[in-house]
Structure 1
Amino acid sequence: MDRIFTVDEGRALLPAVIEDARELIAARADLAELDFARRSGVRSELGGLPEIKGLQARIEEILGGWSEQGIEVKGIAPVLVDFPSVLDGVSVRLCWIEGERELSWYHRTELGFAGRRPL
């Protein structure tokens, strides 16, 4: 989907993205713990292979939901998403990273995260 977001549209979607990100972060941590336990040959109170597969499926579901909305997923550790946009006629990405409370940064599309600037 080639959606272009206004700043207001991106900001309106952000609370749902943050809520999904909280769930993704918890699943990511559980998955890391389960994987470590499995590789170390120890039992985990979190479960085993079925729980690993369930966590992986949930993470994919969250990421897929974002992609269906036109949100670009740039990373999951930390969670980093971009909302394609245009500011002053220039292609940009409204950029949000795990831990931020609002959508207040952007970067030119061709510059990536290193080119982040405040909105």
Structure 2
Amino acid sequence: MKPVTFTIEEANALLPELQEDLIKLQLLTQQFEMKFELLHQLTKQRREGTLPEGPEASDPFFELETQLEFMRMEVELAIGNFERKGVLLKMINPGLIDFPSVLNGEEILICWKQGEERAAYYHGYEDGYKARKRYPDAGLAN
């Protein structure tokens, strides 16, 4: 199957949907990190012997580990949704998304960073974000 390529117009048309998906993913990863930190603190308390034990104390580890595993699967699914749409999620926070494209016969990546109004930059596959250049006529794209 041939990889998806985008025009600058197609990239910008898809951007609102991707921004929504990105915000959901960011919230999910934030929740995951908070639960992971709680698990870390509980593990530390158990190691130090300050975690209540006995029949009346519930096992917080099972519930937290189960929640974390479910959240991990949700994160993987959300990341996979970007791939299924043909875009490259380069960074979750702040969001950085690349759209495979072709400009003047050269394969490039149209680049968007969270906070920018639209995708208006590009760089080569071997170049990174720091090497990005203004896309020709990007100010005229919808």
| Structure 1 length-normalised TM | 0.84
Counting only pairs closer than 5 Å after superposition, residues 93-108 of structure 1 correspond to structure 2 as 93-108=109-124
Larger Rg: 2
Work out the percentage of aligned pairs sharing the same amino acid.
Answer: 28
Evaluate the alpha carbon distance shift between residue 50 and residue 98 of structure 1 in structure 2; reply closer, same or farther with a 3 A threshold.
farther
What is the match of residue 5 of structure 1?
6
What is the match of residue 81 of structure 2?
65
Give unmatched runs, 5+ long, in structure 1: none
Number of aligned residue pairs: give it: 116
> What whole-Å deviation, never above 9, does each CA across 1:55-93 have from its counterpart, x for those lacking one?
222221111111112111222233322100011222110
Give unmatched runs, 5+ long, in structure 2: 46-59, 136-142
What is the match of residue 91 of structure 1?
107
In the alignment, is the contact (CA less than 8 A) between 1:94 and 1:106 conserved in 2? yes
2:24 aligned partner, one-letter code? E
1:77 maps to 2:78 = no
> What whole-Å deviation, never above 9, does each CA across 1:11-54 have from its counterpart, x for those lacking one?
11111100000001101111111111111117x9xx72232223
Structure 1 ranges of 4+ moved more than 6 A = none
**Structure with a larger share of its residues in strand:** 1
What is the match of residue 23 of structure 1?
24
Evaluate the alpha carbon distance shift between residue 49 and residue 99 of structure 1 in structure 2; reply closer, same or farther with a 3 A threshold.
farther
| Structure 2 length-normalised TM | 0.72
**RMSD of aligned Cα (Å):** 2.0
Q: What's the secondary structure of 2:9's corresponding residue?
A: helix
